[in-house]
A and B are shown apart, each in its own frame.
Chain A
Amino acid sequence: MVQSRPFANLVAHLVLWLGIGIVAFPVYLTLVASTHEASAIANGNMPLWFGDNFIANYYKTLFVGSSRSTRTLVSTMMLNSLVMALTIAIGKIAISIISAYAVVYFRFPFRMVFFWLIFITLMLPVEVRIFPTYKIVADLGLLDSYAGLTIPLIASATATLLFRQFFLTIPDELVEASKIDGAGPLRFFWDTVVPLSRTNMAALFVILFIYGWNQYLWPLLITTSGDMQTIVIGIKKMITVTDALTEWDVVMTTTVLAMLPPVAVVILMQHWFVKGLVDTEK
């Protein structure tokens, strides 16, 4: 440390706590609201401390439902979100690692064409091809299905690039040794490449899980039936049931439940999360 200045230090702590306050306040308020009954929130004088409707609200939202804002149970929505997030995360990692393996460890005609075809998809986010993509999914009969929710999002230029970068750092001696032992490419992939890639997979998994859980535009287009709704879309549908009738207790409880899994993943797997974020941005 350059020099120790108690006053400057104090200011720094105060600024940081202010920052944490700004970051945490909206979530705190939502947590508080999720423990009050609807009437306490709706009259605009909600107490700033937790109420005693915690269990009642969460039980109703998760397992009973409400005739006004959501007939679909939020537990069903959470299951849909979980299936979507896991399928996207695992699917992206699986198809990217084999693509990268093909591009790095084999020489074949059009190798770089394939690589660039994957790479350029970075420049084609869903938002720039919304309706034609929707039409294809509709033509394939995949609307309102897990396949329709996940498969179109499962290609990943970022993950492919990341694995390619990593494979290029694996010493050639390992392949040569494996060849001398008489092992083929698939054997080398399973016994050496996959175990070595574990840290990269973990870091990617955290980022992709959050990405999948938080999807908005795509499930909004693809799902119409309540049974297939993800939790993030579910909240939106609850709010638009004409403003005056919004059941804020259910909305706030659902909001907390929608934040819980991804936030827990970030906090519990912070090390992997930071690594994943930094790696995928390169």
Chain B
Amino acid sequence: MEKRAIYSHKLLPYLLLVPQMVVVIVFFYFPASQALYQSFLLEDAFGLHSEFVWFENFEHVLKDPDYWLSFVVTAIFSVAVAGLSLALALLFAVMADGQIRGANAYKTLMIWPYAVAPAVAGVLWLFMFQPSLGILAQIIRDRFGVDWNPLLNGTHAMLLVIMASTWKQISYNFLFFLAGLQSIPRSVIEAAAIDGASATRRFWTIIFPLLSPTAFFLLVVNVTYVFFDTFGIIDTMTGGGPSQATSTLVYKVYNDGRAGSNLGGSAAQSVILMIIVVALTAIQFKYVERKVHY
């Protein structure tokens, strides 16, 4: 779609674009190209010489068992958080959608955790599950006899970050599921009811299929969330530990880069992440294209 009525100034449009372009080039494209360039270089220990090594850095990274561990961690983490938060949010949204009175009040009460910073969400959950003073940690230890210690036990640490990340994401999914549910025409549901379909049957044969585009869209958003936005949760709760049990791909880039010993390897990891983002964004836009018309 284009405008018919336009202005024909020579200089003005460029002036209007300058601020955004400066930021984009200096802080986005230049660093990204640096990462790309460095990923093909091998530097000596003192950073004095560097050699162009093609894909050697990538080979190193992909042969590193630690890197594959962080791949597995990210995969488990994504599946758990996306699955749990989508399922819970759908349940709550279906329940709220049925309420004529109170649906809006429930909405207000459910959506505010969106505003809580991931790092802060990490602190909230850490406080409940801190081995020595956490209220829920004590219940787990005293009532169930589990030796709860996320500082030493990798599975416990993983459960902890999954819970905090899920908690933070329910509100977002709830909001979109509720909007999706409210856009389903009542007449379709009423017609099914007249045909004698039970509430359960109506849900699985009508409501759920009509909701699947929303669910798919949310799945992509949730995976992106787990990849990138959980950094704060992991950093406050576990620091990627114990022994890298909660070190996701993004966390590993940060940690390895901070150690600063292997510039090329860190850059290669960044480039792999870029490829993942491009893929996720492409999937998202392909879906959106079908639904929203420009």
Nearest A residue to B260 via CB reads: A131
Interface string of B7-33 (1 = CB under 8 A from A): 111101110110111011111111110
Having A216-B231, A282-B292, one finds 16 other A-B pairs with CB under 8 Å, namely A23-B171, A102-B16, A103-B17, A123-B274, A124-B277, A125-B277, A130-B257, A131-B257, A152-B23, A160-B20, A172-B4, A186-B12, A266-B112, A277-B114, A277-B172, A278-B179
A1 within 8 Å of B (CB atoms): yes
* Contact B236 A235, beta carbon cutoff 8 Å: yes
A15 to B34 Cα, complex, angstroms: 51
B241 within 8 Å of A (CB atoms): no
Name 22 A/B residue pairs within 8 A (Cβ), A-sorted: A8-B98, A19-B91, A19-B92, A27-B124, A29-B127, A99-B20, A102-B17, A124-B28, A124-B32, A127-B254, A128-B271, A132-B31, A136-B30, A152-B23, A155-B23, A213-B117, A248-B133, A251-B127, A255-B120, A262-B116, A270-B107, A281-B176
* Contact A2 B292, beta carbon cutoff 8 Å: no
Query: A198-240: which residues lie under 8 A (CB-CB) from chain B?
Result: 210, 213-214, 216-217, 220, 232-233, 235-236, 239
Query: B200-239: which residues lie under 8 A (CB-CB) from chain A?
Result: 202, 217, 221, 227-228, 231-232, 235-236
Interface string of A55-79 (1 = CB under 8 A from B): 0000000000000000000000000
A161 to B92 Cα, complex, angstroms: 32
A232 to B65 Cα, complex, angstroms: 33
B11 smallest CB distance to A (angstroms): 9
Residues of A within 8 A of B109 (CB): 20, 23-24
Contacting residue for B125 out of A1, A26, A125, A273, CB 8 A: A26
A122 within 8 Å of B (CB atoms): yes
A176 within 8 Å of B (CB atoms): yes
A258 within 8 Å of B (CB atoms): yes
Given the known interface contacts A111-B13, A262-B115, the answer about A130 and B92 at a Cβ–Cβ threshold of 8 Å is no
Contacting residue for B133 out of A19, A44, A122, A130, CB 8 A: A44
Contacting residue for B13 out of A27, A106, A118, CB 8 A: A106
Given the known interface contacts A23-B109, A124-B28, the answer about A95 and B117 at a Cβ–Cβ threshold of 8 Å is no
Residues of B within 8 A of A13 (CB): 95, 99, 102
Interface string of A4-24 (1 = CB under 8 A from B): 000011001101100110111
A50 smallest CB distance to B (angstroms): 15
Query: B19-55: which residues lie under 8 A (CB-CB) from chain A?
Result: 19-21, 23-32, 34-35, 38
Nearest B residue to A188 via CB reads: B7
A47 smallest CB distance to B (angstroms): 10
Contacting residue for A8 out of B34, B111, B199, B273, CB 8 A: B199
A259 within 8 Å of B (CB atoms): yes
B110 within 8 Å of A (CB atoms): yes
A42 within 8 Å of B (CB atoms): yes
Interface size class of A (residues with CB under 8 A): 35 or more
Interface size class of B (residues with CB under 8 A): 35 or more
A147 smallest CB distance to B (angstroms): 12
* Contact B106 A258, beta carbon cutoff 8 Å: no
Contacting residue for A216 out of B25, B170, B175, B232, CB 8 A: B232
Interface string of A232-271 (1 = CB under 8 A from B): 1101100100010000100110010011001101110010
Residues of A within 8 A of B110 (CB): 19-20, 23
* Contact A239 B115, beta carbon cutoff 8 Å: no
Residues of B within 8 A of A270 (CB): 107-108, 111
Query: A132-184: which residues lie under 8 A (CB-CB) from chain B?
Result: 132-133, 135-137, 151-152, 154-155, 160, 165, 168, 172, 175-176, 179, 184
Residues of A within 8 A of B170 (CB): 19, 22-23
* Contact A277 B175, beta carbon cutoff 8 Å: yes
* Contact B20 A95, beta carbon cutoff 8 Å: yes
Query: A17-43: which residues lie under 8 A (CB-CB) from chain B?
Result: 19-20, 22-24, 26-27, 29-30, 33, 41-43
A112 smallest CB distance to B (angstroms): 11
* Contact A255 B281, beta carbon cutoff 8 Å: no
B152 within 8 Å of A (CB atoms): no
A151 smallest CB distance to B (angstroms): 6
* Contact A9 B98, beta carbon cutoff 8 Å: yes
Residues of A within 8 A of B111 (CB): 266, 270, 273-274
Query: B84-128: which residues lie under 8 A (CB-CB) from chain A?
Result: 88, 91-92, 95-96, 98-100, 102, 106-121, 123-128
Residues of A within 8 A of B167 (CB): 22-23, 26
* Contact B135 A46, beta carbon cutoff 8 Å: yes
A265 smallest CB distance to B (angstroms): 7
Residues of B within 8 A of A176 (CB): 5
Nearest B residue to A29 via CB reads: B128
* Contact B27 A133, beta carbon cutoff 8 Å: yes
Contacting residue for B95 out of A16, A94, A111, A179, CB 8 A: A16
Nearest B residue to A111 via CB reads: B13
Residues of A within 8 A of B217 (CB): 281
Given the known interface contacts A152-B23, A217-B232, the answer about A179 and B5 at a Cβ–Cβ threshold of 8 Å is yes
Interface string of B248-290 (1 = CB under 8 A from A): 0010011001000000001100110110011001000000100
